[in-house]
Amino acid sequence: MNVQTDKEQDREVGTMAVNKTIRLHPNDNVVVSREDIQPGTPIPEEGLTAASFIPRGFKLSTRPLKEGEAVVKYNTVIGYAAEDVPAGAMMHTQNIRFGQGAQDYAFCSEYRPVQRDMHATFDGFVRADGRVGTRNYIGVFALSNCAATVVRKIAGAFDAETLAAYPQVDGVVPFVVHSGCGMENGEPLDCLRRTIGGYMRHPNIAGIVAVSLGCERNNMDEFFEAVGEPEGKPCARIVIQQIGGTAAAINKGIKFVRGMLVEANQAVRKTVSAEHLTVALECGGSDSFSGLSANPALGAAVTKLVRCGGTAILSEISEIFGAEHLLTRRAATPEVAQKLTERIEWWMEYSKGRDTQINGRVTPGNQDGGITNVLEKSLGGIKKGGDTGLMEVYRYGERVCQRGLVFMDTPGYDPVAVTGQIAGGANLVAFTTGRGSCFGSVPAPTYKLATNTPLFRRMEADMDINCGRIIDGEQTVEQMGEEIFRDLLAVASGRKTKSEILGVGEDEFQPWDIGVLS
């Protein structure tokens, strides 16, 4: 089955402000309430009467359903009726049984090459390797948990008053890890090194101070032997055991940073093509409106970015499960589609018998927001990627080189997922939320999209844009997508996001300790 196109959904959502419900596809047997609906309330657009109280954003049946009958939303099965249900009843966890319908992966069947027929620009910092930064930071990196305090003390010496003398520098940031010492060799250590190395090479990082204790598993020499020396930027090394201990390491690090600030402050923004923009796509605290407003609107912006030659990174395997066939059909090659299905299979095997999202149950916040299970969540979440082809699939933290829409294998836990995407080269993060999120990130700034107007009004200091205007009937998905695209270019050019203004982002650096997180 196919999910309704964004343009079809635009016509539905953007023109139904007088209706009490939102219908996503003619074949659906549930619709979504736009407002709280009391029992006995007529719903003329569906020709029925509410059989129970329907909270805003929740689903209601459009006809009687028999026990075991498929529940269809987005023209896709999201579960099965757990009991006989009358027309007009609220449909949620109490009467929808988790179960996945048959899928047809149909590799590459819907792939269409994207025409680069749009041109846009932003002002960024052009680096020696040709990549472009949207921010200009000095990074102080702990190679293991043993160096965490030293790294924080070095970065903490550079407060706003000190940095005022360096107006082209956005900050001195500590990147602290909680492993690197007592950990096993192999993929866990490789992943940690790949992630730290990706941040060091990131175009938003102008200078590097790397700190290790000296005897840990991820020690200085073996780390740089594995990841190589970052090119085109100053990189200083401090080994605490060799330099004389904690105080000596802190003092040495402060001297290194002072020297790097002078050079970093000489960087000047230049106008470049939007093809140099790489956006990490993320959602957290989703609600049932996520798949109707913020996610498809972000997807519309992503399609514009890809048409400019830019890149967008979709992630979170556990939050595309049940909808992955929509990506395999859009894959550029069978090999790309196969990579995605292999990662799904890994997660299914590793999650077997565990209480994880991929086995059906979403978070309490998702449920309170009207999302019943992971299938429903995935169908909405995948809309962040727009409608262009899937060009490549990457491992966690792997450098993204392919332009267009790509996928990175990450858990669904927001800080870990975004850390991997930034390590891969994302120089901007777009984060949709329906329940509310205080997330931020460095060195790539996070732009947050609210899915509904009440959330935006309640947390306006944290939200960058209100996509609830789509639900309110004030704008279409395409109109909102155009506004988001312009905003992304402005943020890439230096306009601060709400999370940057609040100073949020340092603690969200969370490399993945390989295992199940959802």
CATH number for the region 6-97 comes to 2.30.130.110
Question: Mapped to the 3 state alphabet, what secondary structure does 364-422 carry?
Answer: HHHHHCCCCCHHHHHHHHHHHHCCCCEEEEECCCCCCCCCEEEEECCCCCHHHHHHHHH
User: Where in the chain are the domains?
Assistant: 6-97, 137-266, 280-508
pLDDT value for 17: 47
pLDDT value for 515: 54
pLDDT value for 16: 40
pLDDT profile of the chain (518 residues), mean per 10 = 37 55 96 96 96 96 97 93 97 92 89 95 97 98 98 97 97 96 89 98 98 97 95 96 98 98 98 98 95 97 98 94 94 98 91 74 87 91 97 98 98 96 98 97 98 97 98 96 98 98 96 69
CATH number for the region 137-266 comes to 3.40.50
Q: How far apart are CA 387 and CA 98, in angstroms?
A: 27
**pTM (whole model) above 0.85:** yes
Beta bridge partners of 172: 138
1-51, pLDDT tens digit by residue? 233 334 344 334 444 446 999 999 999 999 999 999 999 999 999 999 999
Does 230 sit behind a cis peptide bond, omega within 30 degrees of 0 on the bond before it?
Answer: no
pLDDT value for 6: 40
Same fold, 6-97 and 137-266: no
Q: Which helix (H) or strand (E) holds 335?
A: helix 334-350
435-464, pLDDT tens digit by residue? 999 999 999 999 999 999 999 999 999 999
pLDDT value for 514: 80
3-state SS assignment for residue 336:
helix
106-116, pLDDT tens digit by residue? 999 999 999 99
Q: How far apart are CA 157 and CA 331, in angstroms?
A: 48
242-287, pLDDT tens digit by residue? 999 999 999 999 999 999 999 999 999 999 999 999 999 999 999 9
Which segments of 164-316 does DSSP mark as H helices, in order?
187-201, 220-227, 240-243, 246-264, 294-307
Buried b (16+ CB within 10 A) or exposed e, 122-133: bbbbbbeeebbb
**393 backbone dihedrals φ, ψ, rounded to 5°:** -125, 130
Q: Which amino acid is at 232?
A: G
